[in-house]
Structure 1
Amino acid sequence: MNDFIPDPIRQGIARGWRIVDAARIEADQTLEADVVIVGSGAGGGVTAEILALAGLKVVIVEEGALRSSNDFKMREADAYPSLYQESAARQTLDKGIKILQGRTVGGSTTVNWTSSFRTPPSTLDYWRTRFGLDGFDAEAMAPWFETMEARLHIGDWQAAPNENNALLKRGADKLGIPSGLIRRNVNGCWNLGYCGMGCPTNAKQSMLVTTIPSALDHGALLVTRARAERFAIKGEDVEELLCTGLQADGVAPNGRLLRLRAKHFVVAGGAINSPALLLRSNAPDPHALLGKRTFLHPTLISAGIFPQRVDAYAGAPQTVYSDHFLHTAPIDGPLGYKLEAPPLHPVLLSTTMNGFGADHAAMMRQFPHIQGMLALLRDGFHEASPGGSVQLKDGAAVLDYPLNDFLWDGARRALLTMAEIQFAAGASAVRPAHESARAYTSWNEAQRAIAELPQALHMTRVASAHVMGGCTMAGDARLGVVAPNGRYRELANLSVHDGSLFPTSIGANPQLSIYGLTARLASGLAEDLTGQPAPRPGA
């Protein structure tokens, strides 16, 4: 199939893009630029394009490899080791939460499911009142969201929802629960459903096929398979970034050192990796805030078994949602949750659901008839929901995210809600992702059983694909290490441009929030560094 689809990465390389693959260099190197950007995901990609369009000499450094549509074979066995952090097996310190994050050029935008939501106004209001982020209300952010929506073809999905998503709407409608349709960042989508393995048709408007190519066409240099180890700091300035070259596997060091020097540095490695880099660098942190307040939208899973085929792997992965249970309590009250339907693929399903031996095999034989539902808990708005903290373990990043009774209360309510919706949609059985759960054949049975399930570490299956916080942006230095202009407060030539800036989780899939926020911050940075108005992304 890929032989008939133009490959913008191969075309760009043929045009003369400047790329250094650190896995292939034979000696240490020193590179210089106006700006070095660490990370090529949502924050780094947007920043790279804006700064390159402004005429600045930009270097983008990425730990993962450069892949393209010709590498995306729609196979989990290929995608997870090559495109995800820790082969899609990243976990919290206590192994209580499985975390999916991208690790490739384009970051998580290359492997996400294209769901695009603006930051909810209630979240922005909370940031203003609790973290002093004046001027970041919905009205002020709207032009930046509009800019990035136009740049990345974010719009309503025209096709009908696949059966996996239609069942969420059908069950919600029957119970009188309002739902909505999810906007997607796609252009010419083939409706395949394999977005999480890299888009083989280049329809997904990820950083891999939009902002990174634009930046490279405007003279930026891309460094791949290079691990950002630490900043060399002198006084209030970062002097250089020290990176380790990696072997072809993208994991083991190859013994080569890269020194990246610049007038300004931008950290955009994503929550977990960004605070970890600053921690390894011993960045000044007078209020001990770095790495704290890291949030996940801890996610609960429910599998509904239906008489008809669902084929949850086929078709646009996420097109229906419900925010009803985000609005049934105050934002700083008991944990609310967003409902969505995830795509299901064999490895993802089999490693997420509980069960062993014959029981697990029997469940997997029902794979074509399984509908998946997710509940994303909105963490960070209550004193009992402080999030986690990024720590270093032998220099590597790890997230400690304790699970407490406040969270378990939200988990139980979410599991009950999902089971009720699935039965209302016509499920013959519902199986919550919990070690003690089995397939329940009626809502009454499920209601009684879920009410009694012990909500505890390693019992309830919890996952996340949304990592936020750790480098909190706030109006007050006592609340955040980053100022409202994106500058790291204690270092004159360092900015942070990614989801680690969020003071809380946001209660929505975060990519558009990162796009809009970093477009604003990068435009301000471009004006500061050049003295000229910032160009519009995509110009």
Structure 2
Amino acid sequence: MSLPDPIAQGVADGWRVLDGATRQQDLQLHCDVLIIGTGAGGGMTAEVLAQAGLDVLMVEEGALRTSRDFRLLEAKAYPELYQEAASRKTADKGINILQGRTVGGSTTVNWTSAFRTPADTLNWWGERYGLHGLNPQAMVPWFDMAEARLGIADWQTDPNPNNSVLEQGCQALGLKHGRIRRNVRGCWNLGYCGMGCATNAKQSMLVTTIPAALQHKAALLARARVERLLPTADGKALQGAEGVLLAADGHSLTGRRFRVSAGHVVLAAGSIGTPAILLRSGLADSHVGQRTFLHPVAICGAVMPQRIEAYNGAPQTVYSDHFMHTQPLDGPLGYKLEVPPVHPLLVGVTLSGFGQQTASLMQQLPHLHVMLALLRDGFHPDSQGGVVRLRADGSPELDYPLNDVLWDGVRRSWLTMAELQFAAGARQVQVIHEQAPLLPSWKETREMIAGLALKPLLARLVSAHVMGGAAMSSQPDGGVVDEYGRHWTLRNLSIIDGSIFPTSIGANPQLSIYAFALRAAHQLRAALKA
């Protein structure tokens, strides 16, 4: 069955969409507002400003791909829709990072889990960083607005078996747990959210705010990599930005360049991309790229007696914050428990071991259950996150040291996840560590976890949540931007993405970025229209 593709129809009807791969000459463009990046921050900002009548240009490094391109195939989706083909890693290769690289950014490929910023995180930002205007009560209207715009609501369908294992384990052990809200409308419950939504049910920026902005005469330039921002002669503002156009493969250079002059620039390239652009532009102070946080994720697998088929059904609908909010924020790292979808390619490159052992486990894929523990970093004194730096070719790299505080959280979370899976009826459990075998009992697994060496590449860690790197602050000497994302030095630069967060969120960050972006975009709209 062929489904309508409203974005393709809009392009056919004359939306201002340019593809860098098809340009035969250099581009010179002009706009009121240049928005660099089309993810949660850039997408929300583009709609607000375009609806106000401002001439908005969105620039995106990735390609414009729509529902007709989403074929539910891992081998196609990861190279086309993710940074570094879903293989981006920290400098020591210790953490694999999943980030979107397409129009809509990570909102196009995330698993739709929507949480408001925890109140204790917002209160901490007020107490420690002086960001009192971001208290829980003040943020409620912005969360309400974001949820209404993007269809964020309770998921009415029963959890799939993968999520049910987490729920059953929590019930058996008496652990606090709940259901996850999702940003979907008319979801088909397929389970392939990470490969782009083929039915346009996921309310990502790709199908909501970006089309709305284009309908209001905004423009989009895709397959265009911003190399640097262009400061004015006095160094107090920006003239615009310049960069290179990318070929159809999304990586090769065409030899063509682009330059944009703009009255205002919004950086929304994400918590690795935004600091990288500032660094390449020679506009970085001592805060840029520092304290970049990941929610490092520890993983535990289990073979269940029943079929789990974790590749089917809504990916994430159950969670537990039992170990997130039951201890001081600045104490041992807390962690949030969730489950991921389990598709063959992604699980195959994540599983520990090799040879017959891994092949045997892959043969049991329909019975495989996987649990995640998202570690909340940035609050403990020894949890400083990582640093974004530039490689010799100007591309960004995140150096993320794995220290004793983080490893302690990993070990504790493994113990929790293994116990939960056995409590839910698992036949065998294996924490994802190169020296950890499948074991048939909680007692054996507990003893094995206690003795595991904790080093990069032995313990397999992943993350899909990148935050910080251009943090907001209450004073110019404390960060890069103020609480509205306004740059402390460059008068016509705003940063509106997850890079402004001074710590990790402690929850899946998409809704936090949506709400903060709306707040910043409305302030910017008022300033530009004054």
Partners of 1:514 and 1:29 lie apart in 2 by 31
Q: Tell me whether 1:171 sits opposite 2:169 in the alignment.
A: yes
Q: 1:96 maps to what in 2?
A: 94
Partners of 2:177 and 2:348 lie apart in 1 by 28
Q: 2:77 maps to what in 1?
A: 79
Q: Say which is worse superposed, 451-460 or 423-432, in terms of deviation.
A: 451-460
Q: How does 1:295-334 map to 2 (within 5 A)?
A: 295-334=293-332
Contact 2:166–2:421 at 8 Å: present in 1 too?
Answer: yes
SS at 2:453 equivalent: coil
Cα offsets for 1:195-236 (capped at 9, x unmatched)? 000000000000000000000000000000000100111211
Q: 1:446 maps to what in 2?
A: 445
Q: 1:275 maps to what in 2?
A: 275
SS at 1:379 equivalent: coil
Contact 2:240–2:263 at 8 Å: present in 1 too?
Answer: no
Q: Say which is worse superposed, 324-333 or 340-349, in terms of deviation.
A: 324-333
* Letter matched to residue 444 of structure 1: K
Cα deviation for residue 237 of structure 1 reads 1.1
Partners of 1:99 and 1:485 lie apart in 2 by 27
| 5+ residue gaps, structure 1 | 532-539
* Letter matched to residue 408 of structure 2: D
Cα deviation for residue 299 of structure 1 reads 0.1
Partners of 1:355 and 1:201 lie apart in 2 by 36
Q: 2:417 maps to what in 1?
A: 418
Q: 2:61 maps to what in 1?
A: 63
Q: 1:227 maps to what in 2?
A: 225
Partners of 2:184 and 2:316 lie apart in 1 by 12
Cα offsets for 1:446-495 (capped at 9, x unmatched)? 00000111111111100000000000001022221111221111111100
Q: Tell me whether 1:252 sits opposite 2:248 in the alignment.
A: no
Cα deviation for residue 29 of structure 1 reads 1.0
* Letter matched to residue 494 of structure 1: L
SS at 1:35 equivalent: strand
Q: How does 1:48-447 map to 2 (within 5 A)?
A: 48-234=46-232, 235-285=235-285, 288-394=286-392, 395-447=394-446
SS at 2:323 equivalent: helix
* Letter matched to residue 27 of structure 2: Q
Q: How does 1:473-484 map to 2 (within 5 A)?
A: 473-484=472-483
Partners of 1:222 and 1:412 lie apart in 2 by 45
Partners of 1:370 and 1:250 lie apart in 2 by 34
Q: Tell me whether 1:8 sits opposite 2:6 in the alignment.
A: yes
Contact 1:471–1:482 at 8 Å: present in 2 too?
Answer: yes
Change (3 A) 1:467 1:109: same
Q: TM-score, normalised to structure 2's length? A: 0.99
* Letter matched to residue 332 of structure 1: D
Q: How many residues align?
A: 527
Cα deviation for residue 14 of structure 1 reads 2.1
Partners of 1:383 and 1:466 lie apart in 2 by 21
* Letter matched to residue 278 of structure 1: L
Partners of 1:329 and 1:484 lie apart in 2 by 27
Partners of 1:101 and 1:107 lie apart in 2 by 8
Cα deviation for residue 51 of structure 1 reads 0.3
* Letter matched to residue 524 of structure 2: L
Percent identity between matched residues is 59
Q: Say which is worse superposed, 265-274 or 127-136, in terms of deviation.
A: 127-136
Partners of 1:499 and 1:276 lie apart in 2 by 14
Q: 1:537 maps to what in 2?
A: none
Q: 1:534 maps to what in 2?
A: none
SS at 2:310 equivalent: coil
Q: How does 1:450-465 map to 2 (within 5 A)?
A: 450-465=449-464
Contact 1:156–1:184 at 8 Å: present in 2 too?
Answer: yes
SS at 2:476 equivalent: coil
Partners of 1:242 and 1:317 lie apart in 2 by 39
SS at 1:478 equivalent: helix
Cα deviation for residue 132 of structure 1 reads 1.1
Partners of 1:450 and 1:318 lie apart in 2 by 26
Cα deviation for residue 284 of structure 1 reads 4.9
Cα offsets for 1:83-131 (capped at 9, x unmatched)? 0000000000110100000000000000000000000000000111111
Cα offsets for 1:128-186 (capped at 9, x unmatched)? 11111111011100000000100000000000000000000001100000100000000
Partners of 1:347 and 1:137 lie apart in 2 by 42
Q: 2:492 maps to what in 1?
A: 493
Partners of 1:227 and 1:438 lie apart in 2 by 44
* Letter matched to residue 520 of structure 2: L
Q: TM-score, normalised to structure 1's length? A: 0.97
Partners of 1:353 and 1:457 lie apart in 2 by 15
Change (3 A) 1:431 1:400: same
Partners of 1:476 and 1:463 lie apart in 2 by 34
Q: 2:470 maps to what in 1?
A: 471
Partners of 2:229 and 2:54 lie apart in 1 by 21
SS at 1:325 equivalent: coil
| 5+ residue gaps, structure 2 | none
Quote the RMSD (CA, aligned, Å).
0.7
Partners of 1:240 and 1:526 lie apart in 2 by 18
Cα deviation for residue 342 of structure 1 reads 0.5
Cα deviation for residue 329 of structure 1 reads 1.5
SS at 2:262 equivalent: strand
Cα deviation for residue 327 of structure 1 reads 2.0
Partners of 1:219 and 1:149 lie apart in 2 by 25
Contact 1:284–1:490 at 8 Å: present in 2 too?
Answer: no
Q: Say which is worse superposed, 5-14 or 314-323, in terms of deviation.
A: 5-14
Partners of 2:420 and 2:139 lie apart in 1 by 34
Cα offsets for 1:329-369 (capped at 9, x unmatched)? 20110000000011000011111110111111001001000
Partners of 1:75 and 1:479 lie apart in 2 by 45
Q: Tell me whether 1:528 sits opposite 2:516 in the alignment.
A: no
Partners of 1:284 and 1:358 lie apart in 2 by 49
Partners of 2:193 and 2:325 lie apart in 1 by 30
Q: Tell me whether 1:502 sits opposite 2:501 in the alignment.
A: yes
Partners of 1:482 and 1:474 lie apart in 2 by 6
Contact 2:34–2:240 at 8 Å: present in 1 too?
Answer: no
SS at 2:299 equivalent: strand
Partners of 1:432 and 1:334 lie apart in 2 by 20
Partners of 1:196 and 1:499 lie apart in 2 by 20
* Letter matched to residue 422 of structure 1: Q
Partners of 2:12 and 2:326 lie apart in 1 by 55
Contact 1:293–1:389 at 8 Å: present in 2 too?
Answer: yes
Q: How does 1:17-32 map to 2 (within 5 A)?
A: 17-32=15-30
* Letter matched to residue 415 of structure 2: L
* Letter matched to residue 269 of structure 1: A
Cα offsets for 1:485-532 (capped at 9, x unmatched)? 21111111100000000000010000000000010000000000002x
Partners of 1:377 and 1:219 lie apart in 2 by 42
Partners of 2:187 and 2:13 lie apart in 1 by 26
Partners of 1:158 and 1:347 lie apart in 2 by 29
Partners of 2:4 and 2:154 lie apart in 1 by 25
* Letter matched to residue 427 of structure 1: A
Partners of 2:57 and 2:115 lie apart in 1 by 29
